[in-house]
Structure 1
């Protein structure tokens, strides 16, 4: 008797059995298929808003916008007011921002005087060319506020072209004798000189002085006389003041016929001339200053000290084209280095 293997009988799939009836032995989750529709979420009727609620909401939005606008405006006004309160007054007048006084003086804004018609400013880059054509008296540094000077910007008279009459004494002066007290600056006509001192609202110019007037301040005036015999001085002016700290400042300007004559006087004067205020002054060796191009400065300090190495006298010789300046500052309690440097620097700026 032959045994035949029972052929596998294909029965219904589990999914089919689950669908066939509830009594079928199948996975209970098989009854859910991807084709079964999902229940939709319940959507109720849209809420309605009454006209009164809409009006109230708009009113609240308007009030909020007004409040924010007022807040922004208040902050803007407060910021603007604070900025004006800080920037309008001088910084030194604001508590907590004032800078401690370091010895510098308060000068008015420096303004160069106008040039006569058709005249140009000197070119200090070329030491052999260029002459100062402006009124030499207005090239002097004004007195600071600490010495009773004005802090307002000076107002100058209208420049006038030089005339033959005004220039004749300067050009006719022999090279062997120094010129005396000039009646007017060679660069300004005689008619312009009186109006300069009477200029409304302007700063009174310094006085003309003889070129040898500086000799009264020297221990060896004969050497100055010898320099002026070799180099013709065309005009000279001076200004001096005493500041509230007791420092006496003297500034002397001498104009020569050419830059070469002025430079020779400068080189010889800084070594040969000895001032009564600083007879033992020696050339300073503490480095050089940054000066305007074309302007040369030699500084000398007295050996007498008021304590802590502060000299009682400081001297500066300045060469600027055809002009030589001698600046002397003395104080028995010592001349502040900051004030001395400030005065010398500002005077160099005017001559440049």
Structure 2
């Protein structure tokens, strides 16, 4: 057997040579978020016209809004001035409904004689000012002027009679008729001054009392030195009378005050009862007792109200009457303002 060698397998065809490859191009980086990709292009005339039109519209809108904001600002400022400049009571819709109170001129205290002190507000110091100038002036509703009174210079103290029927011309500080300042003619353009009250005898108050004999004894015992009175009738029909009586000391004035407020009965209010006044404005140095009649008017308010005030050596009697009824606000107002004048400085603004 002949051994034959196995021929080797035919060699596979060699692969064709590969051409050299070019180096790989790195990928282009992705644009960052929010980045603007610029492209080279030229806007067309139509696009330029649209852009200019948009800019013009934006400018016009900005101008319109600016003008509107300015108009609203001016309108708001004008409204604020229109509301804050005038008095609240002069603005329709904001005016407080009237409660019957009166309109008085500014309260002004009269001058004092040289070397004399003003009341101390404790109800003990005497009053040295002219008694007539301590009366509350008439309100606007009764024909009074809104001009503050101008007082003449005080004159030296004159001697006054101690009798309750003292002459009306006798006064603790003298009459303005004898003062050069009082006889001076007012300025042609000056507003008229409030009318001056007159001196009256102390016993002039007796005609208003139901028991004048008892009050006469009281005035003689306590030695009333001088008296004055002011009266007015307001447009609402309420008649107001204020009497001031001066005594020689606070003790004498207090004695007359205590007797009148407890036993005195006026013809205008024959039947009276004490009315509460704890919520009233308190005035230091002035004691107050308020009375009202038991008879009421059509509106249910008393037809007469009486107030007694005691301030050191001065006794004040306030009487207000009206057949239709005397409301509480004007009565309270008159009593409080008269108390302010008798209490001495500082006087509060009118209410």
**TM above 0.5:** yes
CA–CA distance in structure 1, aligned partners of residues 212 and 333 of structure 2: 28
Q: Distance in 2 between matches of 1:79 and 1:70?
A: 14
The C-alpha deviation readout for 1:59-78, integer Å capped at 9, x for no partner, is 99987776565444433322
- Superposition pairs for residues 183-332 of structure 1, below 5 Å? 183=169, 185-188=171-174, 191-192=178-179, 195=182, 201=191, 202-284=193-275, 287=278, 289-307=280-298, 309-332=300-323
* Higher RCO (CA < 8 A, seq sep 6+): 2
Q: Does the 8 Å contact 2:277/2:290 carry over to 1?
A: no
| TM-score normalised by length of structure 2 | 0.74
Q: Aligned-pair RMSD on alpha carbons? A: 3.4
* Corresponding residue for residue 130 of structure 2: 135
1:90-137 deviation line (CA, Å, top 9, x unaligned): 333322122222222222222222333433220122x33x12222221
Is 1:178–2:164 an aligned residue pair?
A: yes
| Unpaired segments ≥5 residues, structure 2 | 1-25, 344-351
Q: Number of residue pairs matched? A: 305
Structure 2 contact 158–173 (Cα < 8 Å) conserved: no
Map 1:313-352 → 2, pairs under 5 A: 313-352=304-343
Match of 1:159 in 2: 153
C-alpha contact 1:124 1:293 (8 A) present in aligned 2: yes
Distance 1:197 1:219 in 2: 44
Provide structure 1 residue ranges, at least 5 long, that are not aligned to the other structure: 1-35
Measured at CA, do residues 215 and 81 of structure 1 come closer, stay the same or move farther in structure 2, by a change above 3 Å? same
SS of alignment partner, residue 136 of structure 2:
coil
Give the one of 71, 74, 78 matched to 1:74. 71
Say whether the 8 Å CA contact 1:196–1:205 is kept in structure 2.
no
